[in-house]
Structure 1
């Protein structure tokens, strides 16, 4: 059992994908019975916490008068930086650049300066508005262009990835072009906002219920804030109402404020951010400006690529360094660059500290790669699909990434070719071009784009997980692991692993809330690694218990250990079948341990940020999407007519859940690139800070025809849990096909002679601006 993923017993009868099982909380979700932080029974004497936020983007705090706030009836206290017994820091990377409450100066509009603690949330909200703060304004840097012009500091060391001689490659290339692509940011817009409930206990203990993707980091932040050992702080998470990366680090501030109030007053305290405050305070997806210089030949083969990827990172480091790094990791997408140099530029600005978001920089890098492909296709007159197929990673010398990792299993060409055939891409492309000639106002476009997405944390130490499994004498099983559930079905997959191994029915296995009190030192549920890491940890714990039960059964019934098998109908022991609960009860009376800790660490990975070389990913997930759109040239609106997706999930742990993740990821990715727009005014005030001003995809924005299929017969070549592949972030990138389909539609305005260079988000305004520019080019 040293390699459970290679064990034939773990592969199922057919060695294929696992059967689908409904989400373990589905009945609770649809009945409204699923419990979130704000649904928890309120302890007696519960206090409510509301932060007071800065109204300047960059300023010195001349004075902060909170007397009027404290005087409001029902206000128990007002917390400032001076009330923090420990560290006034919530920097997740140890940079000491992110105070919990501002001291001396503010660095973005919406930065917490103080926190009101009151008997009711309404009182706290009203009181927070009464603060009298005098600011001495300082110049604010709000955009990437301003940051560059001002010589703004970088929030992280700039990474360079290179291979070959890019200057020589560009100089020798028969053809060459350069350009720039702008990619906007994105609000997480989780349905459940940031929330935390803190309950003080005896001897300095603090119990926290937090909507966090990273319970261990939240535990550490609270402990440092309160100046207590981590062992006194327990963080519990049953489920989150969405997160998408926005609760990996951003959940720490609400948790620390709630814990600080509970610690100071000695009563339970809860914080639930108002949606406006949530959007003003928390970081977003990083927006990027990417400059590229590419050399290629007449057949569309890339010879050299030089890219600079600049990101608006916000006022503190947060996770911007790793995000920009991952953008560089994916700036090749599925394509081999013979000579290449990729440079990151993580710029500091006086805006919210941008943070993790589904894909973690990878989608931005992939948008840049696909723009390069599009430019080459227009320059050569080739079908973009042919340019893609001619440049995918292959074998021999065409399989090494810019960071010197060998791509051992490139299947991008096979997936794109298969999808192009099944969705009739080439036939439809020709038909759309003919239809556009006679359509004055509605233009249609089509595009087929791939994804190659690296799976693992690039921070190598995060690639570990723990689990705790208890088997009870009645044959029921309780499972706990370090991953968190945010609707993606992670808990369901963990239940399935136990069911599959023990041969049990669904009702026999119960998953319990993630808590630092059961599994310590957990990694964030992020980087698409939740099932990979925690699944193997759960499997390790189950195998330990199974090994004990097998040994006991063999000795008890005098049979060989090989003759003991766990089946759906019971445990086969020699020639007889024993009910699982009978075996566990007998084992208990024989003093056999029925509990085990499991642990897993990802093998083979390494990364050296100083040299820009290594193997940061255990494997790659692949896929391709074909999108067809209709664009209204009068209004700039677009409609997604049809989408076909073929995605590589290895041997899927749960096909139904994985397909749901692919569908949701695509819609979210398409929303990012077509309609979700963040707007700051000249004062640094985020104006798109509520559902009334920030548009996310609605049901009517889904594709009219939506075909999603999992790649069959493609087990993961690496020893992952049951040979599956991660399905979390990679499908988000399929939304890139929509951006390129819109671009294809607009290209009809110049008879497909000019690359539209459509920036994202492709809002109606952006589409109209691009269309006007293309018409002017055509006229000349």
Structure 2
């Protein structure tokens, strides 16, 4: 497949049309392949933003108000500029509570390549705004920039400017402290100050930056997925889902979800290529939601099958179906692990009892609501939290720079593929 993520959302249609037209006119298979120069020249990139802002702080260094106008360079067509701008507006607070916010966004048409989805989808542009503000304001307030960031972290019970409660906000403090300790930030900053004092032309600096990134599509209808799971008489399992694998490990996660839900070994599960004649109406594999949505659908399908098999296994083990447990390729009775039968035996028995061994699964993200007209609601299922400590070195004559070290801490929750 090559490439990945946002570049696949909108702009491949034009190149596919070129190939289709060529095939139609010639009656032969046609392949369109751009060289690197053509690719960089013709295809869209991350949206440049121009941002004008005013900000207010208390004497204690607490954010009081932000007034910002975000101008997004869409290029010659609209493409995905509207949702990109929408996510930028939803992330201009990053990890910080700002009690009063007035934000305005606009897209401008320019004589440039049409910009498109790019990793982060407007989030980095919004985050950059508040991080730039804090970096500029800290010296004027006489507060260490890292301390200024920490003071303004979201606290439990606080909400974003668009009205969504920030759940688990205390994790920001935990991540920040862990990163500071593991990256030896205080000691390294002292070393950097000593280096800069003795180096007239090459300077070093270390920053820490938190992140609070919303997970879900801003457009609620996209937050749904389907799956089709087959269990065969020999106990093997075939999974169909609607996500696209492009090197991010999605297929592996779906295999793990199915194996865990059915209590079998990973080698017993295989995956079919993604096809819309098996799982229709698929959402884009984007917004960091491919595993959440498709995993939920696969889990739902597997649970339907497992519930049917539990009745069969209960009769085989002489226990109530509610006391049946699946795990490690075996089916056991609660409290009596020696009383067990293999997964394959249960499947074979179910087949001869004419029990359905396939299921269509469905998942939709609950609890989402969003009014795009007034930019209010709860568009995200949850927030992903993390922080990075980055040390760089800059040559003041040439502007050449290099990244000397990066330390990253992310709260990944219960990972599907640890």
**1:467 Cα deviation after fit:** 0.7
Per the alignment, residue 164 of structure 2 pairs with 405
**1:429 and 2:202 are equivalent in the alignment:** no
1:558–1:257 CA distance, 2 compared to 1 (3 A): farther
Q: What secondary structure sits across from 1:457 in the alignment?
A: coil
**1:526 and 2:286 are equivalent in the alignment:** yes
Within 5 A, what are the aligned runs for 1:55-66?
none
From 570, 575, 578, the equivalent of 2:341 is: 578
Which consecutive residues of structure 1, in runs of 5 or more, have no partner in the other structure? 1-239, 656-780
**1:602 Cα deviation after fit:** 0.3
Q: Deviations over 1:224-275 (max 9, x none)?
A: xxxxxxxxxxxxxxxx323131101122222333334445555443333333
**1:569 Cα deviation after fit:** 4.3
**1:589 Cα deviation after fit:** 2.0
Q: Deviations over 1:202-240 (max 9, x none)?
A: xxxxxxxxxxxxxxxxxxxxxxxxxxxxxxxxxxxxxx3
Q: What secondary structure sits across from 1:451 in the alignment?
A: strand
Q: What secondary structure sits across from 2:7 in the alignment?
A: coil
**1:557 Cα deviation after fit:** 4.9
What is the rounded CA distance, in whole Å, between the counterparts of 2:17 and 2:301 in structure 1?
Answer: 33
Per the alignment, residue 641 of structure 1 pairs with 404
From 115, 118, 124, the equivalent of 1:363 is: 124
Q: Deviations over 1:721-743 (max 9, x none)?
A: xxxxxxxxxxxxxxxxxxxxxxx
What is the rounded CA distance, in whole Å, between the counterparts of 2:186 and 2:245 in structure 1?
Answer: 41
Per the alignment, residue 226 of structure 2 pairs with 466
What is the rounded CA distance, in whole Å, between the counterparts of 2:305 and 2:161 in structure 1?
Answer: 44
Per the alignment, residue 560 of structure 1 pairs with 320
What is the rounded CA distance, in whole Å, between the counterparts of 2:388 and 2:136 in structure 1?
Answer: 19
The answer to whether the 8 Å contact 1:455/1:617 transfers is yes
Which consecutive residues of structure 2, in runs of 5 or more, have no partner in the other structure? none
Per the alignment, residue 355 of structure 2 pairs with 592
Q: What secondary structure sits across from 2:5 in the alignment?
A: coil
What is the rounded CA distance, in whole Å, between the counterparts of 2:261 and 2:86 in structure 1?
Answer: 38
What is the number of equivalent residue pairs in this alignment? 414
Per the alignment, residue 84 of structure 2 pairs with 323
Within 5 A, what are the aligned runs for 1:566-715?
566-572=326-332, 576-655=339-418
**1:479 and 2:255 are equivalent in the alignment:** no
**1:258 and 2:19 are equivalent in the alignment:** yes
From 253, 270, 273, the equivalent of 1:510 is: 270
Q: What secondary structure sits across from 1:310 in the alignment?
A: strand
Q: What secondary structure sits across from 1:245 in the alignment?
A: helix
Per the alignment, residue 443 of structure 1 pairs with 203
Per the alignment, residue 288 of structure 1 pairs with 49
Q: What secondary structure sits across from 2:116 in the alignment?
A: coil
What is the rounded CA distance, in whole Å, between the counterparts of 1:557 and 1:414 in structure 2?
Answer: 47
**1:499 Cα deviation after fit:** 1.4
**1:473 Cα deviation after fit:** 1.0
Per the alignment, residue 710 of structure 1 pairs with none
Per the alignment, residue 297 of structure 2 pairs with 537
Per the alignment, residue 705 of structure 1 pairs with none
1:329–1:577 CA distance, 2 compared to 1 (3 A): same
From 273, 280, 287, the equivalent of 2:34 is: 273
The answer to whether the 8 Å contact 2:265/2:329 transfers is no
**1:418 and 2:173 are equivalent in the alignment:** no
What is the rounded CA distance, in whole Å, between the counterparts of 1:622 and 1:287 in structure 2?
Answer: 25
Per the alignment, residue 255 of structure 2 pairs with 495
Q: What secondary structure sits across from 2:31 in the alignment?
A: strand
The answer to whether the 8 Å contact 2:262/2:303 transfers is no
The answer to whether the 8 Å contact 1:327/1:361 transfers is yes
**1:348 and 2:109 are equivalent in the alignment:** yes
**1:374 Cα deviation after fit:** 0.6
What is the rounded CA distance, in whole Å, between the counterparts of 2:258 and 2:156 in structure 1?
Answer: 39
What is the rounded CA distance, in whole Å, between the counterparts of 1:488 and 1:651 in structure 2?
Answer: 18
Tell me which moved more, 313-322 or 570-579: 570-579
Q: What secondary structure sits across from 1:336 in the alignment?
A: coil
From 360, 370, 375, the equivalent of 2:136 is: 375
The answer to whether the 8 Å contact 1:485/1:491 transfers is yes
Per the alignment, residue 244 of structure 1 pairs with 5
Tell me which moved more, 627-636 or 598-607: 627-636
1:586–1:259 CA distance, 2 compared to 1 (3 A): farther
Per the alignment, residue 302 of structure 1 pairs with 63
**1:343 Cα deviation after fit:** 1.0
The answer to whether the 8 Å contact 2:75/2:110 transfers is yes
> What's the C-alpha RMSD, in Å, of the aligned pairs?
1.7
Q: What secondary structure sits across from 1:254 in the alignment?
A: helix
Q: What secondary structure sits across from 1:597 in the alignment?
A: strand
Q: Deviations over 1:355-386 (max 9, x none)?
A: 11111000011011100111111211211111
The answer to whether the 8 Å contact 2:312/2:349 transfers is no
